[in-house]
Chains A and B, each alone.
Chain A
Amino acid sequence: MPRTLLGTRIRENRRSKKISQAALAKSAGISASYLNLIEHNRRGIGGKTLLALARVLEIDPRELTEGADQALIDRVNQSAASTPSINCETSRTEEFIARFPGFARLIGRQFEQSAAQGETLQAMSDQMNNDPFFSEAMHLMLSNITTIKSTAEILSDDQTLPDTLKGKFLNNLLDEANRLAQTAEDILQHFEPSPENNTQTSDNATAEALLEQHDFYIDDLEKNGTSAQVYMDTLSIPDEEQPETLKTLERYTEITKMLPIQAFLPIAQKLQFNPIALSQDLNIPLTLILKRLAHMPRADDIPRFGIMECDGSGAVIFRKKLPTLSLPRFSGACPLWPIYRSLSQPYQPIKAFINTPTGERFLTYSLAQYDEPNAIGMPARASAVMAFTPDYDMLLTKPQIASQPNLAVGLQCPVCPRDNCAARRSKYLLQ
């Protein structure tokens, strides 16, 4: 602890206890002028004098000698950095903490609370933006409102309506109002905190958020050859989240090592980003090509690829969603998705168009494989990858697109309105 702050701390303690410099000096058995030098940080002290001063000030000597808690310094500095326009005197943070420890702790506490609330808000915002249930519910509500508005306008504008028609429209109005109320109730229930719908973050939520922030393409890892560990060290990742984040970043750097973007991009452009052609031309496993395509720079002449990886149970282990196709984080998606079909036929690539109930269309490439050689007595560990793109017209010609079969799929059963689906495992919540 720098000597400078020891004197400051003694002075602040003395003042807070309303003791004069002369009185403190006398009680501690030193001269007032010496105490003055100490308080202005011009003399160092220790041993007997320090103990005497602490005794008179009725505080633990360690409160005078030990520096401010580094975590508190960090929090106060972070708080200052969060509003740079105020220009806080961060070069004097330690002095501030020494002089006003209570206020410093208050700032630290408030910064922590504010950061925690910010994270909660972000998580809620993510849920609102990416929740297929919410999106579907909003769509249904707007349809309900349209019917109600249009029917109410008819009833209000046309006073000459025959009673039979009036009765029919009133019944429609009531039915639609009931549906609207039910939809609203479903939404409330969906967002009600309960053990069933507790959306705790997955192990790799931080890594996923980090990749999303960079649109799944990190220049430092791509072009500068920075290692995953070195890159992660430049970030403020909480200790407990570092192992999973590192694992995800290392998975990314494996891709960049095997298929450096500078070499890959021209070939991909030449082969119109066709994953199967790229796999054959480069003699690289298709799964790696699919992963590379999900980590590409953003440009108009590069198709957008999302990706989903699952283990043999269908659980999602990695995902890159696209604005037009949300992917489940915790549970399985629609069982009709080609990625699940690929699990039943490992090493056979599946190319298929999927249509979602919201009218979006994607070209998908899926492949399942065994992750490790089968150990004696142990089941094989399979995993599957599915890359998908809405920019299929950059990969295929119009006749090729027209000749591809379309597969009507959903996102998840509770938000899928498709009738008579043999694969349905739970009812559509918004009926």
Chain B
Amino acid sequence: MAKSVLLVEDEPFIIEALSFLLTREGLNVSAFMDGDGCVEHIQKTNPDLIVLDMMLPNKSGMQILEELRAIEGFADLPVLMLTAKGQKKDRTAAEEAGVSLFMTKPFSNKEIIRNIHTLLSA
């Protein structure tokens, strides 16, 4: 059965590009565009991996990650965080919050696909 990836991202064109790329890789891809209700959506859909943008409307990716890690059963869910904020403090904060991998925008398609496969097979 194909593994599922949830894209939590508010830029529709990034969602389209990533959806195309990951679907082509044989993954089931869905998207959620708002910080509000995101944690509940993750609990309901239980994806195999989340690609999480740091800056989202209404709730940041960091808060979503923190809340997620506090929920039983989601402590080890692979989360790849994407951000245009590539500062060291952001990376450190994400690592402390329990991110699986941190990538800065702009990324290369090959790199993100490789990282997603690595996280899914870990």
Residues of chain A touching chain B, judged by Cβ–Cβ distance below 8 Å, are: 138-139, 142-143, 145-147, 149-151, 153-154, 157-158, 165, 168-169, 172, 175-176, 355, 357-361, 408, 417-419
Contacts and interface: CB of A to CB of B under 8 A. Distances in A.
Given A175-B13, A176-B13, A150 B107 contact: yes
Contacts of A165: 20
15 contacts: A139-B55, A142-B106, A143-B84, A147-B14, A149-B107, A150-B14, A150-B17, A150-B18, A150-B21, A154-B21, A165-B20, A355-B59, A355-B60, A355-B63, A359-B60
B78 interface: no
Nearest to B53: A143
A151 B57 contact: no
Contacts of B24: 158
Given A150-B18, A359-B55, 13 more contacts: A142-B84, A142-B106, A143-B84, A143-B105, A146-B14, A146-B84, A147-B17, A151-B17, A355-B60, A361-B60, A361-B63, A418-B57, A419-B57
Contact of B13 (A142, A151, A355, A361): A151
A146 B61 contact: no
B11 interface: yes
Nearest to B24: A158
Contact of B107 (A146, A172, A361, A419): A146
A153 B109 contact: yes
Nearest to B9: A143
B116 interface: no
Interface string B71-91: 000000000000011000000
Contact of B11 (A143, A169, A360, A419): A143
B85 A147 contact: no
Nearest to B21: A154
B43 to A, nearest CB: 17
A415 B18 CA distance: 27
Interface size of B as a range: 20 to 34
Contact of A359 (B11, B14, B62): B62
Given A172-B13, A172-B16, A358-B55, A146 B105 contact: yes
A357 B55 contact: yes
B108 A153 contact: yes
Contacts of B108: 149, 153
A359 B93 CA distance: 11
A3 B85 CA distance: 66
A175 B13 CA distance: 9
B54 interface: yes
A157 to B, nearest CB: 7
Contacts of A153: 108-109
A147 B109 contact: no
Contacts of B58: 408, 418
A341 to B, nearest CB: 20
Nearest to B110: A153
Contacts of B21: 150, 154
Contacts of A158: 24
Interface string B35-61: 000000000000000000011111111
B73 to A, nearest CB: 19
B93 to A, nearest CB: 9
A288 B105 CA distance: 43
Interface in B84-121: 84-85, 105-109
Given A146-B14, A147-B13, A165-B20, A359 B106 contact: no
Interface string B16-28: 1110110010000
A303 to B, nearest CB: 16
Contacts of B11: 143, 146-147
B75 to A, nearest CB: 16
A150 to B, nearest CB: 4
B38 to A, nearest CB: 13
Nearest to B15: A147
A172 B14 CA distance: 10
B92 to A, nearest CB: 13
A19 to B, nearest CB: 68
A342 B59 CA distance: 24
A154 B105 contact: no
A176 B11 CA distance: 10
B84 A358 contact: no
Contacts of B20: 154, 165, 169
Contacts of B18: 150
B105 to A, nearest CB: 4
A358 B85 contact: yes
